Amino acid sequence: MYSSIHGRVMENTVPVISRQGISGMYSFQESSSAASSSSNVTPEVRSLCKKSSENLHLLVNETSLAFYRIEEHIVKTVPHLQGIAQQVKSVETKAEGAGFDQDYTAQFLSEVEIIPELQSVQGWVKNALVNASKIKELQDRRGPT
């Protein structure tokens, strides 16, 4: 749109906003400067400066259009941000649930150590694991059958 205001875009120029006459309207003027003509200014920076200047021009001269653009931006971004907020809440709820599960598991395990019947079951499980590993070793020694 910057080019539509000027009709053409000149190389090595910087848009400058100045006040014109009694009407108080602001407009663009292009002025050459040594800083803008240096080779380290990338096209992206020029484009960003042009867009920023254009938006500033709209805000100064055409406030209703500027506010329309702001509203348009809000309408486009708010639904996406709401979706992200819902995802964050969902992850937060899952993390909180996992924390509660961890607390309940730790509490249960501390109570299990107190119950004597479960201690004998724990001994049986240990013996079964030891016997299973011994059987596996014997099978490995014999080789495939």
> What is the predicted pLDDT for the residue at 49?
87
Report the candidate in 25, 34, 106, 28 with the shortest Cα–Cα distance to residue 63.
25
Q: Which residue has the higher pLDDT, 12 or 112?
A: 112
Count the neighbouring beta carbons within 10 Å of the beta carbon of residue 140.
9
Per residue in 117-136, pLDDT (tens digit) is: 777 887 889 999 999 999 99
Q: Considering the entire predicted model, what is its pTM?
A: 0.37
Per residue in 51-75, pLDDT (tens digit) is: 888 878 777 777 777 788 888 989 9
Cβ(36)–Cβ(29) below 8 Å: no
